């Protein structure tokens, strides 16, 4: 009896889950349809063959390889640099317990909540003055700083609970603050640092407003910006749109499959700290 | 042998300088620009509170904030409520009776849209919702509901609700994952004891689940409300604020004021108002959260 009552709940949940992933499935199906097939049978039919010209055409038209390279370069640099900056800040706050650390931490939390709209015009203007406008470096610098606000916040509380005895012991053996950081604190906190790397990478990959403003030339654009701008212009036919969607979805799904555990665990850790 | 505290201050130096350049100075500049009349070239003219007086009477501005409230419903209220029910159902029902593996597969399905760049989500959905050969309309026709077909994103009366629907889809995974992690903290024996005492699903949900993850609920509500007020990419890609301003939101409004109308002073005033609202909400949220954690 109870088992009978359970199945409707399970079925409802499975249907809801299906609804969440159906958009992905129809994108895949329609990305491999020829335009003729699409106009004849519409979006719901199954493809008769594997039509890849839409994908290759789109790839060449937007120079997608270059966009992927830009995204990887920018996101990778931000992930690395923002993690380093977070570690330095959190070391001073969590382990060094510098004076006024509560205020410093509050500052980082607020900086993390600041809407990018309140920074975007001055950043645009200043980067022009500094000759950094429309360079990948400008975006790397900005997101390194913005994301390290979250990293500092998360890592400070993790390092605040770092076993003091280990640090005291190392100090007695004559290690300086720098050595304690690189030889002890960083290796021990490697799991949290991994979470931060993954998060910073994906966040930067998905960022839209600032890269849209900062990266105007085609050669510097990220995947997100290039696809968003194309969509805004509405110049694409259905097959091309699906090719764009599929090529945009694929990297995200790959990250997701590779880092699923890190992502879900990291979100929870980040939220409750 | 203890290191002097001051030796650690040096480690804050790179971060402090970088923050000064990228956050503090631009933020102060933006606040200052809100009091000027500036087109982005030449030197700004001080205009005092003129921008704010103009904002008070700008119906476009008020409309964009009204739409923000709809976004809060779509990105904070609905995902939190649905996320709670789903998290409880996945943990308490599916996890217990059908295995945690199935529960985590289902969780992954709900979470997947969260890792998608919002520009890509926008492409997927604006194609699904297209008026002529869009998938949703084709589907309605195929099941005999052809009269329900709509220009989902092009109808001014409908577009805002359509955007809300897409945002629920995008956002749902976040509360779900946070809540499921929070539920993992609750002692399963509590549930067993309650079940033995004859408490039904609803009573267990209300008396064990909800109080148990109250800190998470506050965090999720705060984060999602802030995200809702900042929403930009989805509007840019789905509707560009249209049709006729029906889906305009403050962040998109400030973006167009900055870069299309080049009224930099006015755009700065809009984003300053947005910032004040967000920081106020953030402070309230943090306060509620710390109270919930003490309780």
Q: pLDDT per residue over B84-123, tens digit each?
A: 999 988 887 887 778 888 888 898 899 889 888 888 888 8
Which residues in chain B (133-162) have CB-CB distances under 8 A to chain A?
A: 133-135, 138-139, 142
Find the residue in B nearest to A23 (Cα): B124
Q: Which of B109, B127, B279 sits opposite A245 (nearest CB)?
A: B127
Contact flag B230-A172 (C-beta cutoff 8 Å): no
Residue A245, phi then psi, degrees to nearest 5: -60, -45
pLDDT 10s digits, B106-165: 988 998 898 888 888 888 898 888 887 788 888 888 887 877 878 888 888 889 999 999
Helix %, strand %, coil % of chain A (to 5): 80, 0, 20
Percent of chain A with pLDDT over 90: 34
On the 0-12 / 13-18 / 19+ scale of CB atoms within 10 A, A46 is exposed
Q: Which chain B residues contact residue A154 at CB under 8 A?
A: none
Tokens describing residue B136: 């949703």
CATH of domain B59-294: 1.10.3720.10
**Does residue A1 surpass a pLDDT of 50?**
no
Tokens describing residue B291: 């109270």
Taking alpha carbons only, the member of B38, B69, B65 closest to residue B51 is B38
Please tell me the distance in Å from A59's CA to the nearest CA on chain B.
15
Q: Which of B2, B3, B6, B15 to mutate to test the interface with A (most CBs of A within 10 A)?
A: B15
**Does residue A78 surpass a pLDDT of 80?**
yes
- Tell me the CA distances in angstroms from A99 to A106, A179, A236, B12, B180, one per residue in order: 13, 22, 57, 12, 37
Q: Which chain A residues contact residue B42 at CB under 8 A?
A: none
Please tell me the distance in Å from A258's CA to the nearest CA on chain B.
12
Find the residue in B nearest to A2 (Cα): B97
Residue B46, phi then psi, degrees to nearest 5: -70, 130
Predicted pLDDT of residue A137: 94
Contact flag A118-B271 (C-beta cutoff 8 Å): yes
Q: Which chain B residues contact residue A209 at CB under 8 A?
A: 232-233, 251, 255
Please tell me the distance in Å from A4's CA to the nearest CA on chain B.
12
pTM: 0.88
Please tell me the distance in Å from B144's CA to the nearest CA on chain A.
14
Overall average pLDDT of the B247-261 stretch: 93
* pLDDT band with cut points at 50, 70 and 90 for residue A157: confident
Q: Which chain B residues contact residue A1 at CB under 8 A?
A: none
Which residues in chain B (219-238) have CB-CB distances under 8 A to chain A?
A: 219-220, 223, 226, 229-230, 232-233, 236-237
Contact in structure between A218 and B74 (CB atoms under 8 Å): no
**Does residue B27 surpass a pLDDT of 80?**
yes
Mean pLDDT of chain A: 86
Q: Which of A44, A114, A271 sits opposite B139 (nearest CB)?
A: A44
Partner B contacted by A32 (CB < 8 A) = no
Q: Which chain B residues contact residue A113 at CB under 8 A?
A: 226, 278-279, 282
Which residues in chain A (54-83) have CB-CB distances under 8 A to chain B?
A: none
Find the residue in A nearest to B97 (Cα): A6
Which residues in chain B (22-81) have CB-CB distances under 8 A to chain A?
A: 22-23, 25-27, 29-31, 33, 40
Find the residue in B nearest to A110 (Cα): B279
pLDDT 10s digits, B273-289: 999 999 998 888 888 87
Overall average pLDDT of the A98-125 stretch: 90
3-state class of A88 per DSSP?
Answer: helix
Q: Which chain B residues contact residue A93 at CB under 8 A?
A: 12
Residue B10, phi then psi, degrees to nearest 5: -55, -35
* ipTM metric: 0.86
- Tell me the CA distances in angstroms from A17 to A13, A21, A101, A273, B107, one per residue in order: 6, 7, 44, 29, 8
Find the residue in B nearest to A144 (Cα): B18
Predicted pLDDT of residue A273: 46
**Does residue A4 surpass a pLDDT of 60?**
no
Which residues in chain A (127-186) have CB-CB distances under 8 A to chain B?
A: 141-142, 144-146, 148-149, 152, 171-172, 176-177, 181
Predicted pLDDT of residue B295: 64
Partner A contacted by B119 (CB < 8 A) = yes
Partner B contacted by A98 (CB < 8 A) = yes
Q: Which chain B residues contact residue A210 at CB under 8 A?
A: none
d(CA A243, CA A136): 26
The domain segmentation of chain B, as residue ranges, is: 59-294
Contact in structure between A223 and A201 (CB atoms under 8 Å): no
Helix %, strand %, coil % of chain B (to 5): 75, 0, 25
């Amino acid at each position: 009896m109870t088992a009978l009552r359970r199945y409707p709940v399970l079925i409802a949940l499975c249907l809801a889950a299906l609804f969440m992933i159906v958009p992905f499935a129809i994108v895949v199906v329609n990305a491999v349809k020829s335009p003729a097939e699409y106009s004849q049978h519409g979006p719901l039919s199954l493809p008769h063959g594997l039509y890849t010209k839409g994908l290759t055409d789109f790839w060449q038209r937007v120079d997608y390889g270059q966009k992927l390279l830009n995204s990887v370069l920018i996101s990778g640099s931000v992930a690395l640099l923002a993690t380093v900056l977070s570690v330095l800040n959190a070391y001073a706050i969590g382990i060094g317990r510098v004076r006024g650390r509560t205020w410093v931490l509050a500052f980082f939390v607020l900086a993390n909540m600041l809407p990018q709209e309140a920074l975007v015009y001055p950043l645009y203007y200043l980067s022009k003055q500094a000759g950094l406008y429309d360079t990948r470096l400008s975006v790397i610098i900005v997101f390194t700083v913005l994301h390290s606000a979250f990293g500092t916040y998360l890592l400070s509380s993790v390092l605040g609970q770092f076993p003091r005895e280990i640090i005291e012991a190392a100090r007695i053996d004559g290690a300086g603050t720098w050595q304690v950081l690189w030889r002890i604190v960083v290796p021990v906190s490697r799991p949290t640092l991994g979470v931060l790397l993954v998060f910073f990478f994906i966040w930067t990959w998905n960022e839209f407003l600032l890269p849209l403003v900062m990266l105007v030339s085609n050669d510097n654009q990220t995947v997100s910006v290039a696809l968003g701008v194309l969509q805004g212009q509405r110049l694409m036919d259905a097959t091309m749109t699906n090719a764009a969607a599929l090529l945009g979805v694929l990297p995200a799904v790959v990250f997701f499959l590779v880092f699923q555990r890190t992502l879900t665990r990291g979100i929870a850790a980040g939220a409750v700290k | 042998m203890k290191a002097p505290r001051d030796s650690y201050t040096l480690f804050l130096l790179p971060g402090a300088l970088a923050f000064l350049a990228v956050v503090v100075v631009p933020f102060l500049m933006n606040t200052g620009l809100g009091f000027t009349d500036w087109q982005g070239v030449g030197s700004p003219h001080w205009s005092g509170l003129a921008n704010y007086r103009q904002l008070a009477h700008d119906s476009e501005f008020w409309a964009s904030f009204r739409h923000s409230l709809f976004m809060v419903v779509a990105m904070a209220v609905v995902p939190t409520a649905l996320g709670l029910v789903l998290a409880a159902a996945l943990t308490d029902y599916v996890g217990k009776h059908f295995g945690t593996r199935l529960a985590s597969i289902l969780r992954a399905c709900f979470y997947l849209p969260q890792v998608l760049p919002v520009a890509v989500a926008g492409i997927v959905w604006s194609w699904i919702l297209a008026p002529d050969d869009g998938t949703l309309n084709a589907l309605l026709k195929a099941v005999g509901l052809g009269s329900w077909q709509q220009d989902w994103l092009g109808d001014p009366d409908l577009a805002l609700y359509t955007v809300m629907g897409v945002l629920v889809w995008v956002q749902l995974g976040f509360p779900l994952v946070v809540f499921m992690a929070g539920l993992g903290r609750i002692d399963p024996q509590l549930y067993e004891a309650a079940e033995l005492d004859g408490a039904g699903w609803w009573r267990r949900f209300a008396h064990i689940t909800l109080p148990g993850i109250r800190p998470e609920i506050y965090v999720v509500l705060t984060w999602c409300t802030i995200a809702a007020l900042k929403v930009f990419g989805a509007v840019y890609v789905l509707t560009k604020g249209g049709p006729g301003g029906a889906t305009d939101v403050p962040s998109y409004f400030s973006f167009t004021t900055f870069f299309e109308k080049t009224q930099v002073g006015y755009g700065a005033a809009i984003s300053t108002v947005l910032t004040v609202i967000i920081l106020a909400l953030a402070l309230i949220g943090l306060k509620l959260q710390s109270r919930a954690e003490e309780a």
